[in-house]
Structure 1
Amino acid sequence: MQPDGQFDMQQLLAQAQQMQQAVMEAQAEIAASEVQGQAGGGLVQVTIKASGEVVALTIDPKVVDPEDVDGLQDLVIGAVNDAMANAQQLAADRLGPLSGGLGGGQLPGF
């Protein structure tokens, strides 16, 4: 605030611009990150980009049973869901500190 009780608009705009730059940098960092998920005690592992793109899938041959395709499908789904949850946690961890000064601690659109 200025001495007359008015907000310093230039200072406010500068802070908003710094916040926007920090959010953009965090978003770029998150998009470039890869996270892993697993199911069945590691028998099925998946690596995804934080954007959701599946990069790698590893299935231990022990779980490949032609008589139990449903079980294998469930493990793959579990591993992908685990990786997606890890990606969301990465985003929350990285963007969380940036939202501290905003109303309610929430960034619009996140």
Structure 2
Amino acid sequence: MSEPQQATIEELVAAGKAFEQRMRTAQVQLGHALVTGRSADGTVVVLASGLGQVKAVQVDPVVFDNRDVTALQNAITQSIRAAGANAAALARDKMGPIEINLH
């Protein structure tokens, strides 16, 4: 049985550079990607980048007829969480496990 060969410093540096380039490419792609999040009742939709930057919030005018502030607040929160989860899933597909924070 022979021992496995250890990578040389040059090979390790090359692998590190290739990994860094893949991550940079994925980051650019995520910055251009768009994900959505919807509230459970469908009255609020959040549009965010794949990096978790909120781009837009759409609110169905019906929520104003109801005048239920608590329901609207919950719908916005649900939508932001859903957009964050969708951004994280897209990032996992592109980069592996990472954490996404909406801002």
TM-score tier after normalising by the smaller chain length: 0.7 to 0.9
* Structure 1 SS opposite 2:17: helix
Q: What amino acid is aligned across from residue 85 of structure 2 in structure 1?
A: A
* Identity percentage of aligned residues: 31
The one-letter amino acid of 2:87's match is: A
TM norm structure 2? 0.77
CA distance in 1, matches of 2:28, 2:48: 15
Matches within 5 A, 1:1-110: 5-64=5-64, 65-66=66-67, 68-96=68-96
**What's the C-alpha RMSD, in Å, of the aligned pairs?**
2.3
Q: What SS class does the counterpart of residue 51 from structure 2 fall into? A: coil
Give me the whole-angstrom Cα distance separating, in 2, the residues matched to 1:90 and 1:70: 30
Alignment length, in residue pairs? 95
Q: State the TM-score, normalizing by the size of structure 1.
A: 0.73
Letter in 2 for 1:60: D
Deviation by residue 1:53-73 (Cα, 9 ceiling, x = unmatched): 22121111222222x111111
Runs of 5+ in structure 2 lacking a partner?
A: none
Contact (CA 8 Å) 2:27, 2:51: kept in 1 or not?
no
**Do the aligned partners of residues 73 and 8 (structure 1) sit closer, same or farther apart at CA in structure 2, a change above 3 Å counting?**
same
